[in-house]
Amino acid sequence: MSRKNLPLAKVYRLLEPGPVVLVTTARGDSRDIMAMSWHTMLEFEPPLVGCVISNRNHSFKLLKATRECVINLPAVALTEQVVGCGNTSGARVDKFARFGLTPVAAAFVGAPLIAECFAQLECRVVDTRMVPKYCFFVLEVVKAWIDPAVKAPRTLHHRGRGRFMVAGAEIKLKSKMK
Amino acid sequence: MSRKNLPLAKVYRLLEPGPVVLVTTARGDSRDIMAMSWHTMLEFEPPLVGCVISNRNHSFKLLKATRECVINLPAVALTEQVVGCGNTSGARVDKFARFGLTPVAAAFVGAPLIAECFAQLECRVVDTRMVPKYCFFVLEVVKAWIDPAVKAPRTLHHRGRGRFMVAGAEIKLKSKMK
């Protein structure tokens, strides 16, 4: 898989459609991968992302301590790994090893990129006001990577209980909206 | 279109996949419809939804004043209406009339349901802490409606600049996750 810079102003185009993402975190010898659907864009540029990372997850501890993570975007070929990551705890299992995923050093954060994903967003925590009540973190994307070969990614969209909608056809209408 | 009660515990299954939604608001003679992709679940039950409604939108004023709205879910047959709503201002145009959408009285809130949508979530604003900085509202869904005929809705997912991914095939894996 190749990887090139994605302009930060285009990050919203990846997250607006609501794909399941894999969030990576790392601290010392400990690292984790978490499947996540509860995220939203908050600002175009610099791109801000809001997301819920439950305090029952190992990732919560790592994110709180390091204030850094990577949002990795898997396509349909990684469905089993996504479900696997969602059903195991990073406190007991190294998910990279267990699910055959390849960690790659990020440019600006300590958490690893997942090489098999078609895009990776390096993030820093910038606001934790809503963490006590909702486990809601505000992240700033500081660097974005994309596989230039992937034009219309077949992303996964969770409908609950292991049911996923896979991204279908694309249509285009005239629009003044971003 | 028929409409039945959807248990509140199942609301997340509609919003997790990240569809474009139409938010309705109303106050006195004024009402609005806004196309929105920047939303996320915050809690399963009672269902809490976080969403960004820009203070440049007419909907922002109506929502701030009334603290009530409806999140309506359109499928692909409403694509032109969705783009139309996104490209006009409710301050100058009655979007129901302009786009041929039918307002129906909600059970618990003053904003109308859109009859042509396959699901409608009646919401109250419960937290405005993040509004000054991010225009981010926390909504509680107090009543949910669904068309029982729609099992795998062909929702719209915005990829930017009028490009929409239409919900494709569904796959199901064994999972312990909600």
Q: Are B170 and A152 an interchain contact pair (Cβ–Cβ within 8 Å)?
A: no
Q: Is the ipTM of this complex over 0.85?
A: yes
- Min distance A41 CA to chain B CA atoms (Å): 6
Per-residue confidence (pLDDT) for residue B151, from 0 to 100: 87
Cβ distance of A39 and B40 shorter than 8 Å: yes
Cross-chain residue pair B168–A171, CB shorter than 8 Å = no
- CA-based max dimension of chain B: 50
Q: Whole-model pTM above 0.95? A: yes
Residue B36 CA to residue B49 CA, distance in Å, equals 13
Nearest CB to B18; choose among A17, A127, A133: A17
Predicted local confidence at residue B2, as pLDDT? 84
Our CA-based measurement puts residue A9 at a distance from the nearest CA of chain B, in whole angstroms, of 11
The residue ranges of chain A whose pLDDT is under 50 are none
A156: closest CA of chain B, how far (Å)? 8
Contact B38 A38 (CB under 8 A): no
CA gap B118, B71 in Å, rounded = 11
Q: Is the dihedral of CA B136, B155, A16, B16 positive or negative?
A: positive
Query: Alpha-carbon dihedral of residues A23, A29, A30, A33, nearest 10 degrees?
Result: 30
For residue B134, the chain A residue with the least C-alpha distance is A42
- Asked whether the beta carbons of B3 and B147 are under 8 A apart, the reply is yes
Tell me if A68 sits within 8 A of A124, measured CB to CB. yes
d(CA B178, CA B175): 8
Which token pair is A82? 């996504």
Interface test with A, best of B10, B14, B126, B165 (most A CBs within 10 A): B165
* Residue A35 to residue A20: CA distance in whole angstroms: 7
Out of A52, A164, A168, closest to residue B40 by CB: A52
Question: What is the pLDDT, as a whole number, of residue B1?
Answer: 67
A8 touches chain B (CB under 8 A): no
Contact B164 A172 (CB under 8 A): yes
pLDDT of residue A114: 98
To the nearest whole angstrom, how far is the Cα of B19 from the nearest Cα of chain A? 7
- Candidates A10, A56, A17, A62; CA nearest to B40 is A17
| pLDDT for residue A146 | 98
Q: Which residue has the tokens 């490009």?
A: B163
Neighboring chain A residues of B158 at a CB cutoff of 8 Å: 16-17
- Minimum distance, in Å, between the CA of residue B152 and any CA atom of chain A: 8
- Distance between B26 CA and the closest CA of chain A, angstroms: 23
A residues 36-95 closer than 8 Å to B (CB): 37-43, 48, 50-52, 76, 79-80, 83, 86-87
What mean pLDDT value characterizes chain A? 96
B177 touches A: beta carbon within 8 Å: yes
Per residue of chain B (178 residues), what is the pLDDT tens digit? 689 999 999 999 999 999 999 999 999 999 999 999 999 999 999 999 999 999 999 999 999 999 999 999 999 999 999 999 999 998 889 999 999 999 999 999 999 999 999 999 999 999 999 999 999 999 999 999 999 999 899 999 999 999 999 999 999 999 888 9
Does the CB of B129 have a partner CB in chain A at under 8 Å? Answer: yes
